[in-house]
Structure formats: structure tokens, C-alpha cells
Amino acid sequence: MIERPYYIDRLWRHRGVGLVKVLTGMRRSGKSGILRLLERRLLKEGVSPDSLLFVNLELAQNAHLREPDELLAHIVAHKRHETPTYVLLDEAQETPGIGNVIRSLLDEGRYDIFLTGSHTRLVERELADVMSGRYVELHVFPLSFREYRQAHAQTSAPMAERKLFQQYLRNGGLPHTLALEDDDYALQDYLDGVYHTIVRRDVAGDLGHEDPLLLDAIARSLYADLGTPSSASKISRTLSSSGRSCSDDTVARYLGALTDAYAFHCMRRFDLRTGMELKTQERYYADDLGLRTMMVGPHETSLTGLLENVVYLELRRRYGNVYAGKHYKRNIGFVVGDAQGREYFQVAPSVLDPTVLAQALAPLQAERDNYPKTILTLDEVGVESHQGIRQQNVVEWLLAS
């Protein structure tokens, strides 16, 4: 089992009766493993096995527990009066009305509850209305490159970091792919199964009578153009030009279903002058690059797009919200913010060419504030600072704590 201390530590800080802990993320991104790691941590800290209940609602043998009354009765039967009962529910969105079940348990004040879910419906439709202010959500992404390297070192022969990073860009970060990296056919079969599980279980549930070929075409378009400003109308025009006519509204519904299943993330633009979020020219990034390779092949996306995708996911892990920055006609790749202020990032495969360097620096130099500004590249040589704008190797940055 791959250790993921970042998530376990955050869950541990929130443990205690009264607040539900919700892990959300795409299927096979590692949420179940994290729940098992949490179970192991609880046992190590002295929690009795009798006070622990782990239920995977995705399993066929637990199909009866997808009925709210059955699930509630099953959990109550495991209650221990002398100590809190720890309830760990995997794929909780499989039980319609799970929000009412959890609220009933919280009202008793005897349960410490942890959930996982592979669709936004768990939080937005089940929990938000009936449990406002009584849960905390933690999004789980596939393995970061730092996690990937650490896990790889435990299971395989040592590999140079640059070569390992190239493998990471190709294979992605779903935890199980590490066991298949020596067998390309098995790896592709596994990723194909993950993609179609997402489509069948999560995306199709939102769309109803979906067109699977159209859905695949839209997903391929997003995978091929990672980080490129996009919209439903732009994708609709592209598909129409290739002979597959569809309306903007249809594309918008399919995009919403793909993001609701966490297969893609939509990054909005942020006007740095007005502080307003913009609703046009959003960018889409994949939750996992291995699925991109499976869908469009290893060479159908620009290196810049791949690097931006990895940086976007890492910024989401470290900061939460991430935006593209707009300042008049200039664009900054990524803008993040926390209690200490903003931070700006530009991404380029290389800035050894002075013209490329000038293009990367220009939008950052236009911002006259004192917030940190960084250019991330694959260059292993170069100037570390350009009049206060930091330049850093992206692999080294990813491996930093």
C-alpha cells in the first residue's frame, strides 16, 4: 500500500465526533487506499477493532447497504457506547439519501465519520443541503510526482529523475499503474477500464441517454489540447468541422458531466485589475495523464500542455484554488492565493532562448506588486533570478515539500 501522509495528516487533524470528513476525487485516484491507511493509523493509535466499521458501497456484496435504511441499521448495530464508533464509508454516493443517514448519525454524537466519493453529487447534492457547516471536504488527486518517486523507489529499480518524470508524464499517477509499468499492454487495458468505469458509473449517470462516441470525442479534444483556452462553442465547432455535428448546449452538458466526475478540472480566469473571476476562455486539465495517453496517444499533446497539467494539479494540492491571470492583454499561467497573498507561476519547457524568456517574463514584469513570481522549466542550467522573478527546474519544484 502506497503511503500518502499528506492526506492522512490532514484527516487526522480533523478527527473527532461532530464533523464529517469527506474525501472526493476521480475513481482509482487512491481514496480507498487512504481510507485503509487511516484505518491502520486508528488501530495503531489504540482504537479497538470493534469500534471500527469499514464499508465499501461499491462492492456487489454490499448492494443491500445502498438502501439508506439498511445502511443506517447496519451502522447503528456496530455502535459502541463506551467509545466513539469510527465509520469509514467508501464510495458513499452509491447510497441515495446518504446525507440524511449521516445527519442522523451525527445527531447521536457517537460517531466519527469518514466518507469517500467519486462524484460531485456526494457533496453538492447529498451533503450541502442537509449538513451545511458539518463537514470538511478534502480532494484527493492521483499521485503527485513526489509521491510517485517515493512509491517507485520502494517497488522498482532506481531510475534517473528525468527519465522517471518522463514516465510519469506518460503513465500518470493512478496508484495501481506502478504495478503495471513493465507491461504496456496490461497498463493500457487497466487505464481503458478506469476510463470506461468513470464513463459508465459517473458520467452516464448524469447524462442519461448519452452518446458514447460523442463523449469520447469531447474527452479526446480536451486531452489533446490541455491548457488551451476552450469553451463549449469552440469544441462544438471543432467537432462539426470533423463531421460530428452537435450543439453548444450538448457539449456544455458533457463537459459538466466530465468535470463532475473529476476526470477534468476547469480553471477559470481571474482579472488581476478588478479582482473579478471571468467566465470565458476557461482551461481544462486532466486529473490523470495516463488516461490522456490511453485516449490520444503519447505524442498528441504539447509538452507545454503536459507540464502545465502537472503544475496545475500540484498547485491545487498546495493551495486549493488556482486561476489563470489576466492583466489587460497579458496572461499569467497560474495565480494562486492564500492568507499571505498571491503567487504567480509561468510554465515553459525551456527559456534558454532569449526571445522565449522575454515572452515568459513580460506578464510577470507587468505586475508591479511584491508577490512571489516563478518561471518553471525543464532547463537544468540558467539564471536563478531575473530581477526578482525566480526561475526553477520544474522537477526540483515538484519534489520540494
**Is the distance from CB of 326 to CB of 271 less than 8 angstroms?**
yes
3-state secondary structure of 249: helix
Residue with cell 489576466: 326
**Contacts with 172 (C-beta within 8 Å, 6 or more apart), sequence order:** 142, 191, 288, 289, 290, 291, 292, 293
Architecture of domain 5-139: 3-Layer(aba) Sandwich (3.40)
- pLDDT string in tens for the chain (401-residue length): 899 999 999 999 999 878 999 999 999 999 999 999 999 999 999 999 999 999 999 999 999 999 999 999 999 998 877 789 999 999 999 999 999 999 999 998 899 999 999 999 889 888 988 888 899 999 999 999 999 999 998 877 778 889 999 999 999 999 999 999 989 999 999 999 999 998 877 887 778 777 888 999 999 999 999 999 988 999 999 888 888 888 999 999 999 999 999 999 999 998 888 878 888 889 999 999 999 999 999 888 899 999 999 999 999 999 989 999 987 778 899 999 865 688 999 999 999 999 999 999 999 998 888 899 999 999 987 778 898 999 999 999 999 96
The C-alpha cell at 170 is 506518460
Domain ranges of the chain: 5-139
pTM: 0.94
**Distance (Å, rounded) from C-alpha 139 to C-alpha 22?**
8
Q: How far is CA 308 from the centre of its chain?
A: 14
Beta bridge partners, 21, equal 114, 136
58 neighbors 32 (Cβ within 8 angstroms): no
- Spell out the residues 6+ positions from residue 158 whose beta carbon is closer than 8 angstroms to its own: none
- pLDDT score at 242: 82
- Measured in residues, the chain has a length of 401
Determine whether 381 is exposed, middle or buried from the number of CB atoms within 10 Å of its CB (0-12, 13-18, 19+). exposed
